Chains A and B, each alone.
Chain A
Amino acid sequence: MEAVVVENITKTYGKGKVLAVDNVSFSVNKGELFGLIGPDGAGKTSIFRMLTTLLLPDEGSATVDGFNVVTDFKQIRSSVGYMPGKFSLYQDLTIEENLNFFATVFGTTVTENYHLIQDIYVQIEPFKKRRAGKLSGGMKQKLALCCALIHKPTTLFLDEPTTGVDPVSRKEFWEMLRRLKKQGITIIVSTPYMDEAALCDRIALIQNGKILSIDTPDNVTRSYPANLYAIKANEMYRLLKSLETFPDRLNSYAFGEYAHATFRSEKLDTAHLEHFLTDKGLSGIEIKRIPATIEDSFIKLLN
């Protein structure tokens, strides 16, 4: 059963001058944790806003829970939860007041659906009298998630929920999403962080308004077409420059403290490469074969 179906959706801004979403189609199954992965400006937020009935698509159609986003917006508004990328709760109301407010707006009460948010709410409950504007980034996100969940939505749209949140809170946040998934809620999440992509059931890699690939994270990395090597040396800049001049090189780029590179030949002669790099005046050279990550796949797709 599909929770969200998007068919050939297109959105332009500025009277057709800026193409934000370009003929995008995908579908999300019920109870799935689906990730939209892409850099800033890829069109993730536009897709979210169209699916949550805040933006009208120029072309194409989309349904959420079988309801059309243009004609049945009323049903969608009462059945989905949306957490915008920017913190959009009332900063001058307390945690408790925000939660009560949104529960009422959806025609429900906090106690009715408390079981859904309990796990998350207990973490911020000690501060329930504090105004939302005075909370830390991680706590704000937890509150926003509570507010988006309070009416027991069938589908949850989370637009870059972890941007600007510290690594520990990010990890916690994803654990919460996993637990929500167990409750049968469909979750669509967007993120610019590639490491988070691996935590989704399926991901769509998106760039310049186009979807490059949709698959499970494992399949995405497994389908990486070449052998990937991580190379380390004492000087990163010179290492990258040297790799570019290596005749067998296909592609190379910095990746943390290593440089990642792919080569034309099936099996790389590591001794030959090491010799080549030493000749260029580099030392402390380390070469190893590694499995591709989502980021590698993404970079590969971009080239």
Chain B
Amino acid sequence: MRTLRFLLRKEFRQIFRDKAILTLIFVMPVIQFIVMPLAADYEVRNVNLAVVDNDKSTYSQKLVSKVIASGYFKLQGYNSSFKEAFQLIESDKADLILEIPQGFERNLIREDKQKLFVAVNAINGTKANLGGAYLSSIIGNFNADIRMQLVQQPRFSQFPVIDVVASNWFNPALNYKVFIVPGILAILVTMIGGFLTALNIVKEKEVGTIEQINVTPIKKHIFILGKLIPFWILAMIVFTIGLILARVIYGIIPIGNLLVLYVFIAIYLLTVLGFGLLVSTFCDTQQQAMFIMFFFMMLFILLGGLFTSIDSMPYWAKLITRINPVRYMIEVMRMVILKGSGFQDVLPQMGVVSLMAVILNGWAILNYKKTN
């Protein structure tokens, strides 16, 4: 016990003495936490639109101004021919072309129907898709408005109408930040904990200090505990800072019990740190450790359900996400913070993560050899 206390004191001394690392531990996540959710936004805005108006009528004018007024589109060109507009797409100035045919107004009023042509530049898939969808719905609205004006509605509609009204639970305004912030916090904590642990032990190997430790009677598990606890505490602090920032900057107040959140993250951090430890036992240099950690972090993050939904992944990818601790962390963060889930609800995730913690740490202790 005395040895462990001394190991911890030594570890903290070293951490607080390395000013560069210390700054990095606290400033880096804070900056990322402020920049990322604001910049990495799913909502597509500023879709560049080129309009080819072959009709030049009041209605076509109305349609165009309605589209622009939606705020999602930026008019890049009001062209007289499709060819001209297409050049804008080719030079990457426009993402969408809306072509209004000649006789738009006349046909719309007389014949009750008219076709519009929308060409989409699909290089940026998300932008094109969402832009196209926005445009269709705006045109649909426009159409409905005109019908209202032109047609005397009978008392009862002749056609049965199903009107779908959606209500967004847990995130009523479909605010993207509410959805992304807990996930980003999960990833930041993972990165801080994982990287620091992996690099720390490898650094001792690189500098040679581990040699001096290995000839001492220190027990393996004491040494590893001495490495785990400091970074566990640091990651907890980073997590707390993140929660405060989420509240101050994004106004996200966890609906669920904070205790549930902290109990889960305490176990989850053991998993992440155990993973870092395991990597460190396989590596001899900080470079190796860095690259291996980076490789896994990328996988964890991309397959963690932060940016893309796990449900829409192919079957094999879904299987991989089952052994991805980050996935469970993001799930629980969203469940507890946004939905207010309690202990009962996060038990499955807690079980899986606990199992991972035991396996990874056990493996790391077995694999850390004082003799080779």
Contacts and interface: CB of A to CB of B under 8 A. Distances in A.
Given A101-B6, A104-B2, A53 B211 contact: no
A56 B211 contact: no
A39 interface: no
Contact of A105 (B17, B18, B207, B216): B216
Contacts of A73: 371
B212 interface: yes
Given A78-B217, A88-B207, A147-B212, A101 B371 contact: no
B154 interface: no
Top 10 nearest A-B pairs by Cβ distance?
A: A88-B208, A104-B6, A78-B217, A88-B212, A82-B215, A105-B216, A86-B208, A77-B217, A88-B211, A84-B211
B215 A54 contact: yes
Contacts of A88: 207-212
Interface residues of B, number: 24
Contacts of B7: 105
Contact of B370 (A54, A78, A97): A54
Contacts, number: 73
Nearest to B222: A105
A100 B2 CA distance: 12
Interface string A50-66: 00111110000000000
B45 to A, nearest CB: 49
A93 interface: yes
Interface in A78-132: 78, 80, 82, 84, 86-93, 97, 100-102, 104-107
A74 interface: yes
A101 to B, nearest CB: 5
Contacts of A86: 208, 211
Given A86-B211, A88-B208, A89-B212, 7 more contacts: A56-B371, A74-B217, A90-B10, A91-B207, A93-B10, A105-B218, A106-B217
Contacts of A54: 211, 214-215, 370-372
A105 B3 contact: yes
Interface of B: 2-3, 6-7, 10, 13-14, 17-18, 207-218, 370-372
A102 B237 CA distance: 29
Contacts of A91: 207
A223 B212 CA distance: 39
Nearest to A103: B6
A55 B370 CA distance: 9
A52 B215 contact: yes
B10 to A, nearest CB: 5
A285 B14 CA distance: 62
Contact of A97 (B10, B214, B215): B10
A75 B214 CA distance: 13
Contacts of B372: 54-56
A58 to B, nearest CB: 12
A64 B210 CA distance: 22
Contacts of B2: 104, 107
A299 B215 CA distance: 35
Interface of A: 52-56, 73-74, 77-78, 80, 82, 84, 86-93, 97, 100-102, 104-107, 147
A83 to B, nearest CB: 8
A107 B371 contact: no
Contacts of B218: 105
B212 A82 contact: yes
A148 to B, nearest CB: 8
Contacts of A90: 10, 14, 209
B222 to A, nearest CB: 10
B13 A107 contact: no
Nearest to A85: B208
Contacts of B214: 54
A90 B10 CA distance: 10
Contact of A84 (B10, B208, B216, B371): B208
A107 B217 contact: yes
A129 to B, nearest CB: 13
B14 A84 contact: no
Contacts of A78: 216-217
B19 to A, nearest CB: 11
A106 B211 contact: no
Contacts of B18: 92
B209 A89 contact: yes
A93 B213 contact: no
Contacts of A56: 371-372
Contacts of B217: 74, 77-78, 105-107
Nearest to B216: A105
Contact of A77 (B209, B210, B215): B215
15 contacts: A52-B215, A54-B211, A54-B372, A56-B372, A80-B215, A87-B208, A88-B211, A91-B207, A93-B14, A97-B10, A101-B10, A102-B216, A105-B3, A105-B217, A105-B218
Given A92-B14, A107-B217, A53 B212 contact: no
- Residue of B213, B214, B216, B372 with highest tally of chain A CB at under 10 A: B216
- Residue of B7, B14, B217, B370 with highest tally of chain A CB at under 10 A: B217
A53 B215 contact: yes
A93 B209 CA distance: 12
Contacts of A107: 2-3, 217
Nearest to A104: B6
A84 B17 contact: no
Nearest to B214: A54
A105 to B, nearest CB: 5
Contacts of A97: 10, 13
Contact of B212 (A84, A92, A100, A104): A84
B79 to A, nearest CB: 66
- Residue of B208, B209, B372 with highest tally of chain A CB at under 10 A: B209
B225 to A, nearest CB: 14
- Residue of B208, B210, B212 with highest tally of chain A CB at under 10 A: B212
Contacts of B13: 92-93, 97
